[in-house]
A and B are shown apart, each in its own frame.
Chain A
Amino acid sequence: MTALFTDAFLTSLVLGALTAGLPLMLAGLGEQISEKAGVLNIGIEGMMLFGAYLGFLVAYDTGSIWLGFLGGGIGGMLVAAPMALFCIRLGLSQIVIGIALTLGAEGLTALLHHFQFAQSYPRLPAVATLAIPGLSSLPVLGPALFDRPPIVYLAMLAVAVTAYVFRYTQAGLALQAAGDKPAALDAAGVDVGRVRTLAVLTTGFLAGIGGAFMSQVGAGIFVPFMTNGAGFIGIVLAMQARGRPLFVLAGALLFGACLSATTALQVAGVSIPTDVIQMLPFAAVLAVLVLFGRRASLPPALGTHYVRGAR
């Protein structure tokens, strides 16, 4: 076993945790914003998938990874917009519409992929990394954490910004009120619908970038159904994090490590069927729910439509 824990192995373990965990983190962060505002966003899987597709398409056509991420974010928002319209404006069931959007995004991206890429299966070139001077030359952790594509640093920044917004700004307070007691927010003169709409669109943007990260950085290729439940894991992360973005980050890295441990073991020559690897994150999620499920906390008004003056 000692030969297993070489520097290269540990580096690939940490690197894998980051690469697999980052999309989960973006999804969880996005979901947290929606849930804080009182919207249970089941459509996040569809938002990620559409972001993955559009991000790949834009990056492939323009050759720009940054436009790709922008496209991914917009792709996620394109799925979030109907969610905002139907659930927040019209007050339809958030769960039914969420399922519909996920199914629709799955079908649509698979169809579009079939007509565009099914013959050629094009790949994107590897994404350029940005080495942070000094830190990147640390042993083991340096190459894994501080020599990454710039989007990784931006995503970490997004966690800090979200934490700051939640805690110290009016917008954060409005978000919290929209989920805890929308009537109070309304009485304070803030439009509940607008707060929730912005929250859902932000979720779509973040989830879309998470999806785009999967297709552009993680895989370099778009494959139908490639998010494979990452959005749903994001929902669990948001539930367990009890409103704290840093907990989402920690949880995402934990699940990412779970995914990458098996990949790293394969690198080290231990053979495990891929199906077993695919089971690990979900088994981990369920284990977390069994152990800490009671401590999950959700806003009181989650999933309910706010009607002014209704009792």
Chain B
Amino acid sequence: MSDTTQIGSDALPAPRSGVWRDRARLLALALGPVLGAVLLSGLVLLALGVNPFAYYGYVVDRGLLNPYGLQATLTRMGPLLLIAAGLIVAFRAGIWNLGGDGQFLLSAVIVAALGPLLAPHMPVWLVLLIGLLVGAMVGAAWSVLPALLKAYQGVNEIITTLMMTFLGVSLANVLVKLFFRDPATTVPQTRTLIVADRLPRLFDTTISSGLIIGLVAIIVVHLVMTRTAFGLKLRIVGANPRAAIHAGLSVPALTVATFAISAALAGLAGAVEIMGVQGNVRADWNPAYSLTVVPLVFLARFNGFASIAFVFLFSVLSIGGESAARRTGVPNFFTLVVVAILLIMLGITEYLDQRRRAAGK
């Protein structure tokens, strides 16, 4: 767990004279990996025989400059921000919740099945509220086993949460194909929540209000983790569990609470994606957002505001990449490569920075 603190506890208060230099350093540390990743993945494109300028041109054009693309980008940010918020809680508490994809997908399937059932019988706002609550609860429920195993048996949560994801993805498919299947369609999928019953759109745009939910969640998480006693307790557990026990904290209870909050946020992301964007779940649908958000949260050093910026960047890449995939014939798997390179670049910049500071002392 020392790894998390090593990267997370970097923003120590600097002497006043060095504040600006320190900020410049943090900015360079954040942007350096991004530039490096863009360069290196451009080389990968070149090796595949694709013009990197054409590819990134489409990405920027379709993900950022085109108004519909930009609205799609902002809509995609909603669930990603919720997942990022959940990861920040877990990582700051030193817990590797890598099961976000299972928590997300199961919640999505349950909410997709529940929404069209409830919609004819109650007002829209109540359907949406119940959907969000149920989504959060399903997400949290899918983390109970890893949480208890970690808290009371000391079983490594990386393994258990990953296993729960594999289990959850298959279970989601079973649910869609066997239990929640819409009899009216030939392709196995759940019944569709009609557009009028979905999360409202913002003003005259196509942006889902899921964006607002995501923004509120990540800012609240940031403030709770940095400004409240509860956040401090979680950070102590993350930094040094043994010290936390000596300080009289109930580490098992805090561990379970961390899992529950983190997974509930991932579940909320699933609900927001279904009730704001998709409307239904098709069999074998798995966007696998969570594992790709992990590097973004690391780049942001578990800071909520910085995470918003990185989630925005990634959303541009992801929406733009979908259009670029159609135009240039590079499948969307390419974003996985970019994220991997980004993580490695992050590690290298971290290493270089530590060496530079060690040399400066």
Whole-angstrom CA separation of A304 from B2 in the bound complex: 8
On whether the beta carbons of A286 and B347 are closer than 8 Å, the reply is no
Whole-angstrom CA separation of A100 from B33 in the bound complex: 13
Say how far A49's CB is from chain B's closest CB, in angstroms: 12
A239 at the interface (CB under 8 A from B): yes
B312 at the interface (CB under 8 A from A): no
Whole-angstrom CA separation of A81 from B128 in the bound complex: 49
B-facing residues in A258-285 (Cβ within 8 Å): 273, 275-276, 278-279, 282-283, 285
Query: Which residues of B lie under 8 Å from residue A278 when comparing CB positions?
Result: 166, 170
Most buried by B among A94, A101, A236: A236
On whether the beta carbons of A104 and B340 are closer than 8 Å, the reply is yes
On whether the beta carbons of B333 and A111 are closer than 8 Å, the reply is yes
Say how far A232's CB is from chain B's closest CB, in angstroms: 5
B187 at the interface (CB under 8 A from A): no
Of A51-59, A156-164, A289-297, the segment with at least 4 beta carbons within 8 Å of chain B is A289-297
Query: Which residues of B lie under 8 Å from residue A42 when comparing CB positions?
Result: 158
B240 at the interface (CB under 8 A from A): no
Say how far A1's CB is from chain B's closest CB, in angstroms: 24
Query: Which residues of B lie under 8 Å from residue A96 when comparing CB positions?
Result: 3, 7, 295, 298, 343, 346-347
B-facing residues in A79-108 (Cβ within 8 Å): 82, 86, 90-97, 99-101, 103-108
Of B57-65, B78-86, B171-179, B198-206, the segment with at least 4 beta carbons within 8 Å of chain A is B171-179
On whether the beta carbons of A107 and B333 are closer than 8 Å, the reply is yes
B278 at the interface (CB under 8 A from A): no
On whether the beta carbons of B333 and A224 are closer than 8 Å, the reply is yes
A-facing residues in B324-361 (Cβ within 8 Å): 330-331, 333-341, 343-344, 346-348, 350-351
Say how far A248's CB is from chain B's closest CB, in angstroms: 15
Query: Which residues of B lie under 8 Å from residue A106 when comparing CB positions?
Result: 333, 336
On whether the beta carbons of A285 and B163 are closer than 8 Å, the reply is yes
A229 at the interface (CB under 8 A from B): yes
Given A115-B48, A275-B170; A93-B162 close (CB under 8 Å): no
A172 at the interface (CB under 8 A from B): no
On whether the beta carbons of B291 and A99 are closer than 8 Å, the reply is yes
Contact with A along B270-305 (1 / 0, CB 8 A): 000000000000000000000110110010000000
Whole-angstrom CA separation of A103 from B177 in the bound complex: 28
On whether the beta carbons of B294 and A104 are closer than 8 Å, the reply is no
On whether the beta carbons of A104 and B174 are closer than 8 Å, the reply is no
On whether the beta carbons of B347 and A104 are closer than 8 Å, the reply is no
On whether the beta carbons of B163 and A107 are closer than 8 Å, the reply is no
On whether the beta carbons of A289 and B159 are closer than 8 Å, the reply is yes
Say how far B327's CB is from chain A's closest CB, in angstroms: 15
Whole-angstrom CA separation of A278 from B171 in the bound complex: 9
Say how far A281's CB is from chain B's closest CB, in angstroms: 8
Whole-angstrom CA separation of A48 from B295 in the bound complex: 22
Query: Which residues of A lie under 8 Å from residue B171 when comparing CB positions?
Result: 275, 279
Say how far A85's CB is from chain B's closest CB, in angstroms: 10
On whether the beta carbons of B337 and A232 are closer than 8 Å, the reply is no
User: Nearest chain-A residue to B352 (Cβ)?
Assistant: A90
Of B19-27, B105-113, B149-157, B246-254, the segment with at least 4 beta carbons within 8 Å of chain A is B149-157
Query: Which residues of B lie under 8 Å from residue A97 when comparing CB positions?
Result: 343-344, 347
Most buried by B among A101, A286, A304: A286
On whether the beta carbons of B167 and A283 are closer than 8 Å, the reply is yes
Most buried by B among A90, A239, A304: A90
Most buried by A among B4, B145, B167, B341: B167
On whether the beta carbons of A293 and B153 are closer than 8 Å, the reply is yes
The residue that A110 contacts in the complex, of B96, B333, B344, with Cβ under 8 A, is: B333
B217 at the interface (CB under 8 A from A): no
On whether the beta carbons of A114 and B347 are closer than 8 Å, the reply is no
Given A92-B351, A229-B162; A239-B336 close (CB under 8 Å): no
A303 at the interface (CB under 8 A from B): yes
On whether the beta carbons of A232 and B351 are closer than 8 Å, the reply is no
The residue that B170 contacts in the complex, of A101, A108, A279, A293, with Cβ under 8 A, is: A279
Query: Which residues of B lie under 8 Å from residue A286 when comparing CB positions?
Result: 145, 160, 163-164, 167
On whether the beta carbons of B336 and A104 are closer than 8 Å, the reply is yes
A241 at the interface (CB under 8 A from B): no
Query: Which residues of A lie under 8 Å from residue B351 when comparing CB positions?
Result: 90-92
Whole-angstrom CA separation of A185 from B158 in the bound complex: 28
Query: Which residues of A lie under 8 Å from residue B155 when comparing CB positions?
Result: 289, 293-294, 296
A-facing residues in B174-208 (Cβ within 8 Å): 174, 177-178
User: Nearest chain-B residue to A293 (Cβ)?
Assistant: B155
A137 at the interface (CB under 8 A from B): no
A39 at the interface (CB under 8 A from B): no
On whether the beta carbons of B156 and A239 are closer than 8 Å, the reply is yes
On whether the beta carbons of B341 and A104 are closer than 8 Å, the reply is yes
Whole-angstrom CA separation of A105 from B338 in the bound complex: 11
Most buried by A among B145, B294, B336: B336
B6 at the interface (CB under 8 A from A): yes
Whole-angstrom CA separation of A115 from B291 in the bound complex: 25
Given A42-B158, A276-B174, A279-B167; A90-B348 close (CB under 8 Å): yes
Whole-angstrom CA separation of A303 from B4 in the bound complex: 12
User: Nearest chain-B residue to A303 (Cβ)?
Assistant: B3
Whole-angstrom CA separation of A279 from B164 in the bound complex: 10
A195 at the interface (CB under 8 A from B): no
Say how far A261's CB is from chain B's closest CB, in angstroms: 16
Say how far A81's CB is from chain B's closest CB, in angstroms: 12
15 other A-B residue contacts (CB within 8 Å) besides A115-B48, A285-B163, A294-B155:
A90-B351, A91-B351, A92-B350, A95-B158, A96-B3, A104-B337, A104-B341, A111-B48, A232-B163, A235-B159, A239-B156, A278-B166, A279-B174, A286-B145, A293-B155
Task: Name 7 interchain pairs, CB-CB below 8 A, sorted by A.
Answer: A86-B348, A107-B339, A115-B48, A275-B173, A286-B160, A290-B149, A294-B155
The list of the 7 closest CB pairs from A to B, nearest first, reads A107-B336, A104-B340, A100-B343, A93-B3, A110-B333, A107-B337, A293-B155
